[in-house]
Amino acid sequence: MSDTSDTPDKRRYADQAYDKLESMISTLVLRPGAPIVESELIEHTGLGRTPTREALMRLVACGLIVQQPRRGLLVSDIRLAEHLDLIEARRVLERLIAGTSARRATPQQREDLLACAQQMAAAAQASDLTAYMQADQALDHVNHAACRNPFAVAAVIPMTIQCRRFWYAYQHQGDMSEGARCHLALAQAIAAGEPTKAAAASDALMDYLRKYAQAVIA
């Protein structure tokens, strides 16, 4: 008989490894085009070979890591020409997730969303990009759990990470205060249980990201 008692821990470790590697890619610790050295990543995560490999495969599926013939795994490039299309696709999914979260979030999730958004605002005021990005990632995790739609979440996650990496790469043209304001409006609408306002706040956030991307591309 197989022993499944440690399955939850294995799942948790794989999720932790994924979050760490995602953060390394989105914050450009692992830069576009960089080769993936598995042994170094295993050491970085401190979570072992199996969770790290599973995280890498998830990142391949997301398109953040690509397999190149005779070159192995590489971090994918940032494609400026495609980024506006990505935002428009993300808009539809984020609107769905926001409205659904406003209906389905638990009281604790509503509190957590507000706390994450407030942390983003505080980080923006302090010009602390690392804290801002950490709070942004935490807000996404809560929002995705709150909507309870795994299909929408699975589709939007690669787009979210690409946008986070794009923002980090071109941060000198971004406005953390405006980004924090948009996230706070979104969190407040979800916390208030107002799906229509949450969807509108999501659209406003995507409008901000599109305007910012257009300025970078121009």
Q: Which of 53, 75, 97 is the last residue of a domain?
A: 75
CA distances from 182 to 9, 85, 99, 103, 205 (A): 36, 21, 15, 20, 5
What is the domain-level CATH number for residue 164? 1.20.120.530
CA distances from 216 to 6, 22, 55, 124, 150 (A): 47, 23, 30, 20, 32
Q: Which amino acid is at 215?
A: A
pLDDT for 1 equals: 39
Q: Which amino acid is at 51?
A: P
The count of structural domains within the chain is: 2
Q: Which of 75, 92, 107 is the last residue of a domain?
A: 75
Regions of the chain short of the pLDDT cut 70: 1-11, 172-173
Residue 126 forms part of a structural domain: yes
Q: For 56-66, what is each residue's pLDDT tens digit? A: 888 888 788 88
Per-position b or e across 152-187, b if 16+ CB within 10 A of its CB: bbebbbbbbbbbbbbbbbbeeebebeebbbbbbbbb
Q: Which of 19, 44, 75 is the last residue of a domain?
A: 75
Q: Cβ distance 188 to 144 under 8 Å?
A: no
pLDDT for 3 equals: 37
Residue of 163, 161, 180 whose CA lies nearest to 119: 180
Using DSSP, state whether 73 is helix, strand or coil: strand
pLDDT for 11 equals: 53
Q: Does one domain contain both 64 and 16?
A: yes
20-79-36-155 Cα dihedral, nearest 10 degrees: 50
Q: Does one domain contain both 119 and 191?
A: yes
Q: Does one domain contain both 165 and 210?
A: yes
Q: Which helix (H) or strand (E) holds 67?
A: strand 65-68
pLDDT for 55 equals: 87
